[in-house]
Amino acid sequence: MVLASYPSLADRAVVISGGASGIGEALVRSFAGQGARVGFVDIARDAGEALAAELTASGLTARFIACDVTDIAAYQDAIGTFAMAHGDATVLVNNAAHDQRHDWAEVTPDYWDKAMAVNLKHFFFAAQAVAPGMIRAGSGSIINFGSISWMVMTPSLPLYETAKAAVHGLTRSMARELGQSNIRVNSLVPGAVITQRQLDLWLTPDSLADIAAQQALPGQLLPQDCASLALFLAADDSRMVSGQHFLVDGGWANT
C-alpha cells in the first residue's frame, strides 16, 4: 500500500501525546516519516525512549519526554522543551487516553476526576500551551482523538465515553475560539482499532467477530488508518477544514 506524502509537513513542529505505543506510535512514525520534527510524551519511558532512538538513528527527528499528561504543569513544561528544540509547534495531536473498564455503581468522585484528567483535561491545557506559538506562526492544526464507543454504547465505559463525547464539544468550541488566528481544530474518531493492548486486555475471537459484523467494510482497523487521516488534517491540504469530527471506523457508527 502506497501512502500519501504531504510536503507541507516537512520541518513542521509536531507534539503528540501517548506516542510510545499503539495509535500513538503510528502517529509518531508517520509524522516523523513526513519530515516533521516530532516531540512526543508518554508514561511508558522504555518504549518511548526506544522509539525515539530508532527514529533518530534512521535520520528522522523525534524527541521523547517521559511525562504523565495528568500532571498539567509537567506536560506544559514538556511542550515548552519541545518548542526550544524544534520551534513552536504548529501541529498538536491530543491522543493519550485510558479506556479502563469500570462499573458505574462503583465510581467514586476521585475515580471520576482521574478519568476526566487522563481522557479530556490535558487536551485543553495542551491546546492552551501551543496556541500562542500557532498564533505567532499564523496557522496551526489541533487534532483531538475521540472514540465511537459513546456512539455505539459500548458497555462498562461510562466515564471514558463521557469524556470522549465531550471531546466533540471541546473541538467545536476551540475551533471557534482559535479560528480567526487560522488555527484549525478537528476530532479524529477511531472505531475498534486493533492494537496490542486491545488484544491483550479486551479482544477475544467472539468480540473480533462481532466487530467484523458491525463494520460496513471488511478487514481490521489498524493504527496506521488513524495516522493517515491525522496527516491529512495536519497538512495544508485540509486548510479550510475545522470544527469537524471524522470517523475512522470501517463504517460502523451512525452519527
Catalytic residue numbers read: 160
> 247: which strand partners?
189
**What is the C-alpha separation between 173 and 128, in angstroms, rounded?**
13
| CA atoms of 220 and 114, how far apart (whole Å) | 31
Distances (CA, A) of 71 to 25, 116, 196, 197: 21, 13, 26, 23
Q: Report the candidate in 95, 45, 47 with the shortest Cα–Cα distance to residue 67.
A: 45
Distance between CA 101 and CA 199 in Å, rounded? 15
- Could you give the dihedral angle defined by the CA atoms of residues 186, 173, 84 and 117, in that order, rounded to the nearest 10 degrees? -90
33 conformational bin, left if phi > 0, alpha if psi -120 to 50, beta if neither: alpha
> Nearest-5° angle of CA 176, CA 179, CA 184?
105
Q: Identify the CA nearest to 251 among candidates 227, 219, 229.
A: 219
